[in-house]
């Protein structure tokens, strides 16, 4: 049985695929339109294609859990949570029964989609619900692109920005992530500058990301966001256990190499945990750590999860931390909290619904 999925393919690739199936190249162009402009979920729904060909493919190709053809590779929506501010979190089921989260975040004149790159995550960050369940597998290109299409359908709005800040560590799935970025730009009409890739850091990987981006995308104009969360190594290892293999000095050296290769400024993310890493001395330490670096700091007030006793910082602490960085010449912004009542922290919705979504035990 074929494992080919059409979602994620470019127009030339779809034309070649159609020809390999004994069809004229223009069938590939029709497929491209229905996949990306219309969001088709099955070949059967693409009525411009010859019925006999659709039936032939349906018999020979992959099928989803309900027995329909799965040539395209769309995931199935299993739950939707909508916050008062319109933030919409979707729980999607993949063909092999895993669940992943994606979030649509509306703002005036824009819609940002937060996408996952893996099922679960191996990085084990203590403040992240996703890492509590470990890693199941990395996502394929079609499963990443599908998240953007699913949010577009659910919110009936064209996404303007995409951030790889959902489940998983993107640098452990570089090939699929870069292929998805290519698809989002070439096939869905987004610009690289509207895309952000967030990483907690994987040793010796940032220079490779830079080289691969230039090779596969022609240029590296997406924003790289590196999660620091602490101004010194011991505290960072306490928050991110995997950081013991990647000292801050080595991480920042790789960031400088990335900047040198791509010419793109690096953004640093810093989750503020009440009473733990949000004090004036931490702001001073962070400023000294990245002083002289062409960068920007994005402060993120913590979203509590049930498994940890971390506290959300006070508004006064957030503003004091921000002022402390600004006074030391660091470009800084604070990310507004969105959708707190909709299991906002990454992985929370998936974990809350895990029991109800688990398959029933086999009889007998």
- Non-local (6+) Cβ contacts of 295 within 8 A are 255, 265, 266, 267, 268, 330, 331
Going by C-alpha positions, the residue among 205, 239, 233, 232 that lies closest to residue 131 is 239
Residue 66 appears among annotated catalytic residues: no
Active site residue 346: yes
CA distance 31 to 40: 9
- Report whether 236 contacts 280 (CB < 8 A): no
Distance CA 78, CA 64 (A): 14
From the list 101, 143, 169, 269, the catalytic residue is 101
As a whole number of angstroms, the distance between CA 82 and CA 340 comes to 10
Tokens of 363: 């009889």
Q: How far apart are CA 139 and CA 220, in angstroms?
A: 22
Nearest alpha carbon to residue 46 among 67, 29, 61, 63: 29
Cα distance between the two ends of the chain:
30
- Of 272, 335, 330, 348, the closest CA to residue 298 belongs to 335
Q: If we measure between CA atoms, which residue out of 294, 288, 298 comes closest to residue 322? A: 298
Token digits for 125? 């960050």
If you write DSSP's letter for every residue of 162-226 in order, what string do you get? EEE-SSS-GGGGHHHHHHHHHHHHHTT---GGGEEEEES--TT-HHHHHHHHHHHHSS--SEEEE
Q: Which one of 121, 183, 185, 346 is the catalytic residue?
A: 346
Give the active site residues: 101, 346
């Amino acid at each position: 049985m074929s494992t080919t999925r059409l979602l994620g393919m470019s127009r030339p690739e779809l034309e070649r695929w159609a020809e390999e199936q004994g069809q004229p190249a223009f069938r590939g162009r029709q497929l491209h339109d229905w996949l990306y402009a219309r969001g088709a979920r099955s070949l059967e729904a693409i009525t411009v294609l010859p019925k006999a060909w659709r039936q032939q493919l349906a018999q020979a190709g992959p099928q989803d859990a309900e027995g329909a053809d799965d040539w395209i590779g769309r995931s199935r929506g299993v739950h939707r949570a909508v916050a008062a501010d319109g933030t919409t979190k979707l729980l999607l089921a993949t063909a092999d029964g895993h669940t992943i989260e994606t979030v649509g975040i509306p703002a005036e004149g824009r819609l940002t989609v937060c996408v996952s790159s893996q099922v679960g995550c191996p990085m084990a960050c203590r403040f992240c619900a996703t890492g509590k369940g470990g890693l199941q597998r990395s996502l394929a290109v079609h499963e990443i692109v599908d998240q953007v299409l699913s949010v577009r359908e659910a919110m009936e709005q064209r996404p303007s920005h995409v951030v790889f800040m959902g489940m998983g560590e993107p640098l452990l799935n570089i090939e699929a992530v870069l292929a998805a970025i290519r698809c989002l730009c070439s096939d869905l009409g987004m610009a690289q500058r509207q895309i952000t890739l967030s990483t907690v850091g994987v040793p010796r990987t940032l220079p490779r990301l830079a080289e691969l981006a230039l090779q596969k995308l022609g240029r590296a104009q997406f924003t790289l966001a590196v999660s620091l969360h602490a101004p010194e190594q011991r505290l960072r290892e306490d928050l991110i256990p995997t950081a013991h293999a990647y000292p801050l000095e080595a991480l920042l050296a790789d960031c400088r190499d990335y900047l040198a290769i791509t010419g793109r400024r690096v953004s640093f993310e810093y989750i503020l945990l009440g009473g733990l890493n949000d004090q004036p001395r931490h702001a001073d330490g962070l400023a000294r750590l990245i002083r002289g670096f062409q960068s920007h700091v994005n402060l993120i007030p913590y979203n509590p999860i049930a498994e940890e006793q971390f506290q959300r910082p006070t508004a006064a602490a957030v503003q004091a931390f921000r002022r402390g960085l600004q006074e030391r010449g660091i470009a800084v912004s604070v990310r507004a909290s969105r959708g707190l009542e909709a299991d906002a922290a990454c992985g929370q919705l998936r974990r809350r619904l895990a029991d109800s979504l688990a398959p029933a035990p086999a009889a007998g």
